[in-house]
Amino acid sequence: MTAQRAVIIGASHAGAQLAASLRQERWTGEIVLIGDESALPYQRPPLSKAYLASKSTLKDLEIRSVEFYSKHGIQLLDATVEAIDRSAGSLSLSTGDALTYDKLALCTGARPRRLPTPGADLAGVYYLRTAADVGLIRKAATPGRRAVIVGGGYIGLETAASLRALGLEVTVLEATERVLERVTAPEVSAFFDRIHRSEGVDIRTGALVEALTGDSRVREVVLASGESIPADLLIVGIGVEPNVDLAAAADLAVDNGVVIDDHARTSDHNIVAAGDCASHDMARYGRRIRLESVPSAAEQAKVAAATICGKPKEIKALPWFWSDQYDLKLQIAGLNTGYDEVVLSGNPTRDRDFTCYYLRSAELIAADCINRPRDFMFSKRVISQQLPIDRAELSLAGAV
């Protein structure tokens, strides 16, 4: 009998984990991991942090060594998949070749949302998703230059911190009324606003970008208010969109991502999906969610590998996230959607460490923990096990 072949499209966190997990689950057939970057699979979160600030190299970011892939018989293929033929169990590659599969995994990730503004195609406008993107930004990010960042989410603020460390003048433009508005409570937004301003970042909220101007290179950002802000380089951080084109063209179910069940299966049971491209109906939250989270990508990948090997496992871990800015480590447990109360431990208007607990109907559903790893571990346990909590205990500084 011919050995079966598992093909993984996408060589980032989910893809690399899925390949390793297949061997751990005793998959004895071929494994082909297809990526469209020539580098080995690498960690993406440090790109806007240590890597941009030149504190680490791409070698430092490698998820696993080249020896690991060789030892475990994982073939790395530098190519782009152009089409999936589900009936034939075949992929069309950018090299002109066809590659057959018995089991297929979609780990295609996401791409930066483009800035829909006149002048967005000027030189000096950057997006931050890959090591190559950061390489271009690094070349432009010389001390004293003026960087404008569009978007006051995590990527925008992490990038601001890194550029300040490199000696640039930094302005952050956020369209809503506060930074991190979509993901945090006002108290957390105010904390990060205070920290960044103290580090010399010019933060503008309610700032709508109307146009970018310059000859062949961006020179100014024109706001809807009529104000113009000088820019030697501009970085766009306004979110990402899942890469679902291949899945949609192959007639797989898509809903803000490739739809997967609790076992990471798509609407074709020979195809699984994991990572930023996957959309999962999470019973814990009663809705379909696409998580942009390395821990979630890793868990989904492990479950997907087990599914391919015919072993029943389910996606059920609590979502968690992190962000590094200056000397601050923000660790987030759970999703705060629908919270009706916050309890603070510490003083975010003065301190550089505190925790914001999010409650819904007196139940702890999420926590933002800044420089408080013990609070983070405590919160993960309480939320996962749905344990009762005492508000008075939560509000005590260093409550755990």
- The verdict on residue 41 lying in a domain is yes
Could you report the per-residue pLDDT of 63-110, keeping only the tens digit for each?
A: 999 999 999 999 999 999 999 999 999 999 999 999 999 999 999 999
Pairing relationship of beta strands 5-9 and 103-106 according to DSSP bridges:
parallel
Residues 336, 383, single domain; the answer is yes
- The verdict on residue 346 lying in a domain is yes
Q: From the centroid of its chain, how far is CA 5?
A: 29
Query: DSSP string covering 93-116, please?
Result: ETTS-EEE-SEEEE---EEEPP--
Pairwise CA distance, residues 364 & 377, whole Å: 13
Residues 256, 290, single domain; the answer is yes
Q: 205, 236, 267 — which closes off a domain?
A: 236
Residues 301, 331, single domain; the answer is no
pLDDT of residue 2: 64
- Lookup: tokens for 244: 């679902």
pLDDT of residue 397: 47
Residues 383, 245, single domain; the answer is no
Could you report the per-residue pLDDT of 18-64, keeping only the tens digit for each?
A: 999 999 999 999 999 999 998 999 999 999 988 998 889 999 999 99
Pairwise CA distance, residues 287 & 269, whole Å: 22
Q: Find out whether 220 and 181 touch, Cβ atoms under 8 Å.
A: no
Q: 280, 308, 336 — which closes off a domain?
A: 308
Which alpha helices (H) appear in the chain, and where do they start and end? Answer: 13-24, 58-61, 66-71, 131-140, 154-165, 186-198, 245-249, 294-308, 373-385, 391-395
Could you report the per-residue pLDDT of 325-350, keeping only the tens digit for each?
A: 999 999 999 999 999 999 999 999 99
- The verdict on residue 276 lying in a domain is yes
pLDDT of residue 85: 98
Asked if pLDDT for residue 398 goes beyond 80, the answer is no
- Considering the entire predicted model, what is its pTM? 0.94
Asked if pLDDT for residue 132 goes beyond 50, the answer is yes
Asked if pLDDT for residue 1 goes beyond 80, the answer is no
Q: 236, 268, 297 — which closes off a domain?
A: 236
**To which H or E segment does residue 272 belong?**
strand 271-273
Asked if pLDDT for residue 370 goes beyond 90, the answer is yes
- The verdict on residue 320 lying in a domain is no
- Indicate which CATH number applies to the domain containing 351: 3.30.390.30
**To which H or E segment does residue 323 belong?**
strand 320-325
Residues 206, 67, single domain; the answer is no
- The verdict on residue 303 lying in a domain is yes
pLDDT of residue 399: 43
Residues 132, 227, single domain; the answer is yes
- Indicate which CATH number applies to the domain containing 155: 3.50.50.60
Residues 283, 385, single domain; the answer is no
- The verdict on residue 192 lying in a domain is yes
- The verdict on residue 150 lying in a domain is yes
Asked if pLDDT for residue 400 goes beyond 60, the answer is no
What domain range includes position 359? Answer: 327-395
Could you report the per-residue pLDDT of 251-287, keeping only the tens digit for each?
A: 999 999 999 999 999 999 999 999 999 999 998 888 8
Q: How many folded domains does the chain comprise?
A: 3
Residues 95, 20, single domain; the answer is yes
Pairwise CA distance, residues 278 & 276, whole Å: 6
Residues 224, 251, single domain; the answer is no
Length of the chain in terms of residues written: 400
Residues 195, 52, single domain; the answer is no
